[in-house]
Structures are given as C-alpha cells and as structure tokens.
Amino acid sequence: MYNFTSLPPLALYIHLPWCVRKCPYCDFNSHQVPGALPETEYVEALLRDLEQELPLIWGRPIVSIFIGGGTPSLFSPEALDALFSGLRARLKLLPEIEITLEANPGTVEAGKFREFRALGINRLSIGVQSFQDAQLAALGRIHGGREAIAAAEAAHAAGFSDFNLDLMHGLPGQTVEVGRADVAQAIALAPSHISYYQLTLEPNTLFHARPPQLPDDELLADIEEAGQALLAQGGYLQYEVSAYAKEGFRCAHNLNYWEFGDYVGIGAGAHGKLTLPAEQRILRRARVKNPRDYQALAGTPAAFEEEAIKPREAAFEFMLNALRLKEGFAPHLFQERAGIPLGLIQNALQQAEAAGLIDWDVQRIAPSAHGWRYLNDLMQHFLPDRKK
C-alpha cells in the first residue's frame, strides 16, 4: 500500500524518432527518414498526445525537457518553434528550466545551433561516439572525426555553455591508446558534460545478429580505467555510472530519472511515469512505437498502454535507478518517491551490507567501492521476487 507525502519533480520527454540511417548497435525506437519529414503532422500529434496527459498533471511545473530520438536535430527550427509554442500554452515551465536537444554531428545540423539556442533550448547532447574515422565507420556513423569536432565548436559559437558529448569505449579494434585519444579530444573541446559508456550488443540490433570483434574483458577494463583517469584529471566528476560533469553541470533531466522523479513521455515509443497521490498509485504509460500509427492515434487511449506499478516493483525500480548515483541517496527520498517505508527493504539492505556491496546510515545509502564495481550483484538484492 502506498503512502505518498509529497509529489516528486515532473519532467517532460519528447521523442522524435527519425534518423538519416539506423546505426547497427542502436536499439532505440528510431526509423530512417521517410523522404520528407512529416514535421507539421508530427508536432500536431505531440500536442494532442500532451493534452490527454494534462488532467493528470494540472498545476505541476515542468523542471526539465529532453528531446531525444532518433536525431531530433533533423527537425527544422520552425517546427521546433511551433512545438515550443504549444508546450508553453499548455504547461507551466520553470524560469530556470533545463531544455536539452539531442544532435548528431554534421555541418548542416551544426548550422542550426544558433537558431535552436534562440528558441530557448539551453543544452545540447551531441552523439560523437568517437573521433576516429575508422571506429566511426565500424559503428555505421554518417559523420567523421572532423565533423564531430566541428559540432562541438559550433555549440560553443552558438552560445551553449552547457552541452554533453556522448563517447563510447570498447569499440571494434580499439586499443588503450586509441581510447585515451578519444577522451583527450573530448576534454580538449571543453564540454560541460561527458557521457562515457561501453558499447554493448543489444538484442534486435544488427550488431547482435552479426557481432563485430570487440576488445576482451581485460582490455575493456584497461580502456575504461584509462579514460576515467583522464576525465578525473580534466575536472569531470563521475556522478553516475556513465555520466561525468564539470562542477554545477550535472544533467537535471537524467538526475530526475535516477532519483525516481515523475516524467511525461510523448512521441512514438515514449514512456512516462506519474505519481497519483489521490489514487495512491504510480502509473506508467508507453506510446505505440510506429511513427505512422502514433500520428494516427495520438490524443486517443489507443495511443498508449497503461500499467500501475506494485509497491514492491516500485521499491526495486527506485533502487535500480538511485544506486546508479555514485553518492547514492538520502534515506527519506525512498519514502517520498517510492511511497513505501524504508523498512520494506531493510533485510535487503542488511544483506547487501553484509556482502560488502553497500554503505548506509541515517544520512546516506550508497554503493560501496566494491558495490560500485559489481553493481549488477548489488541490484540483485532488491529484486521483488528475491527471497529474504
């Protein structure tokens, strides 16, 4: 039984599902551009979708917006302007709101950065993945190292003091030296934030069906540790498994996810999670994935599937997210966000502590150094069906 004492922060996620070409490692809901982008029709569908969420979120301010994909920067500034006009007419946006747009390198898209900034977008997340042409080709990327550098430089020139670079490691043919060169180049471009994560072979991707030759586990560890050392030397503090930021530039939108905040998700394949205190439940909604189906159904109940989360599932999901944060979380946050007493997971906490995977007291619950290294083992202790 839930007992919510307060509402969590509320964010908005918007999914724009089209890319120039589907990358062989990508398991996101992305689709190759079908000729001309249906910008007007899709923006109208997004706003219809949002309107059916409004009765569930009346009066709640939006703390962050993240526009992901796909490649959202393929959309024209005019289409995004129409979208933001619709959002501002329907939602209460905080004055200091963080608004992030995902972008891929390329001279045409980078030329739009000034216009994006003028719309109120104040953060970019640029998917460079690597600065090495050979590695980018192996990943099926449509840009080269020069375009990746130019995109970061264009972000600075357009007035973005806050932008992220996505960087992968463990790539086909990668050595420690090549991995270090990628991280060094990213640091030299002076982004405020770097996402540094390992390439994984996800189901339902071309790489999963036809796996490339990747570095072995020992080399993977060496590449990651070398990159992490450079990031630390460059003043990028690791605050989450794959997130590194300069002081004061942690991603507010992603922090809301990791701290089990609420979010509305609109767009093809988007997911949302809302706390409903009056009904004492947590609700999840997932939109249909196919863009054409989404455009036809947006604004109707047929556009999404709905699920109420059980309390024990909420406890696991909270821990699954919050323990990704290196500093962990304050114990009171569990009661506030999961809506159940900490005592429900007391035995699991004690078992994880006995295994040396977690440190906890009245002020903080966080992975130990050992637990941070073996995070999957730590998460196992909080599975809903695990016998205590």
Confidence at residue 23, expressed as pLDDT on a 0 to 100 scale: 84
Confidence at residue 71, expressed as pLDDT on a 0 to 100 scale: 92
User: Which CATH number goes with the domain that contains 120?
Assistant: 3.20.20.70
Average pLDDT over residues 375-383: 94
Q: Position of tokens 């054409």?
A: 292
Average pLDDT over residues 356-382: 94
Residue 87 predicted with pLDDT over 70: yes
Q: Which helix (H) or strand (E) holds 230?
A: helix 217-233
List the Cα angle 88/93/94 in 5-degree steps: 150
Average pLDDT over residues 133-144: 90
Residue 208 predicted with pLDDT over 70: yes
Minimum mean pLDDT among 86-100, 150-164, 193-207, 240-254: which range?
193-207
One domain, residues 221 and 329: no
Helix (H, G, I), strand (E, B) or coil at 387: coil
pLDDT band at 211 (very low <50, low <70, confident <90, very high): confident
Does some domain include residue 64?
A: yes
Question: What CA–CA distance (Å, rounded) separates 27 from 20?
Answer: 15
Confidence at residue 218, expressed as pLDDT on a 0 to 100 scale: 95
Minimum mean pLDDT among 277-281, 292-296, 297-301, 349-353: which range?
277-281
pLDDT band at 62 (very low <50, low <70, confident <90, very high): very high
Buried b (16+ CB within 10 A) or exposed e, 25-56: bbebbbbeeeeeebbeebbbbbbbbbebbeeb
Residue 47 predicted with pLDDT over 50: yes
One domain, residues 87 and 234: yes
Does some domain include residue 332?
A: yes
Does some domain include residue 263?
A: no
Please state, in angstroms and as integers, the Cα–Cα distance from residue 377 to each residue in 202, 241, 259, 319, 352, following that order: 20, 15, 20, 13, 9
One domain, residues 244 and 333: no
Query: What percent of the chain stands above pLDDT 70?
Result: 98
Residue 386 predicted with pLDDT over 80: no
Single residue among 222, 255, 288 that ends a domain in this structure:
255
pLDDT band at 388 (very low <50, low <70, confident <90, very high): very low
Average pLDDT over residues 262-286: 96
Single residue among 255, 273, 301 that ends a domain in this structure:
255
Question: What CA–CA distance (Å, rounded) separates 363 from 166?
Answer: 33
Question: What CA–CA distance (Å, rounded) separates 229 from 57?
Answer: 43
Confidence at residue 327, expressed as pLDDT on a 0 to 100 scale: 96
Q: Is the bond leading into 343 cis (omega within 30 degrees of zero)?
A: no
DSSP 8-state assignment for residue 215: -
Does some domain include residue 114?
A: yes
Instruction: Report yes or no: 19 and 199 within 8 Å, Cβ to Cβ.
Output: no
| Residue/partner pairs of 186-192 with CB below 8 Å, 24 or more apart | 186/128, 186/131, 187/230, 187/231, 187/234, 187/236, 189/149, 189/152, 189/153, 189/165, 190/156, 191/126, 191/152, 191/155, 191/163, 191/164, 191/165, 192/161, 192/162, 192/163, 192/164, 192/245, 192/246, 192/249
The tokens for 47 are 């706003």
Does some domain include residue 287?
A: no
The predicted-structure confidence for 177-190, as pLDDT tens digits, reads as follows: 999 999 999 999 99
Name the packing angle between helices 39-57 and 77-90 (round to 10°). Answer: 20
One domain, residues 225 and 368: no
One domain, residues 249 and 330: no
- Burial class from Cβ neighbours inside 10 Å (0-12, 13-18, 19+) for residue 300 reads exposed
pLDDT band at 172 (very low <50, low <70, confident <90, very high): very high
Does some domain include residue 221?
A: yes
One domain, residues 19 and 116: yes
Single residue among 255, 273, 291 that ends a domain in this structure:
255
pLDDT band at 107 (very low <50, low <70, confident <90, very high): low
User: Which range marks the domain in which residue 378 is found?
Assistant: 325-388
Residue 387 predicted with pLDDT over 60: no
One domain, residues 38 and 172: yes
Does some domain include residue 231?
A: yes
Confidence at residue 181, expressed as pLDDT on a 0 to 100 scale: 97
Report the chain's mean pLDDT, rounded to a whole number. Answer: 94
Question: What CA–CA distance (Å, rounded) separates 60 from 108?
Answer: 37
Does some domain include residue 75?
A: yes
User: Which CATH number goes with the domain that contains 355?
Assistant: 1.10.10
Domain count, the chain: 2
Query: What percent of the chain stands above pLDDT 90?
Result: 84
Q: Position of tokens 């109707």?
A: 300
Residue 140 predicted with pLDDT over 70: yes
pLDDT band at 108 (very low <50, low <70, confident <90, very high): low
The predicted-structure confidence for 283-341, as pLDDT tens digits, reads as follows: 999 999 999 999 999 999 999 999 999 999 999 999 999 999 999 999 999 999 999 99
Query: Other C-beta atoms within 10 Å of 358: how many?
Result: 24
Query: Which is more confidently placed, 209 or 12?
Result: 12
One domain, residues 382 and 249: no
One domain, residues 250 and 372: no
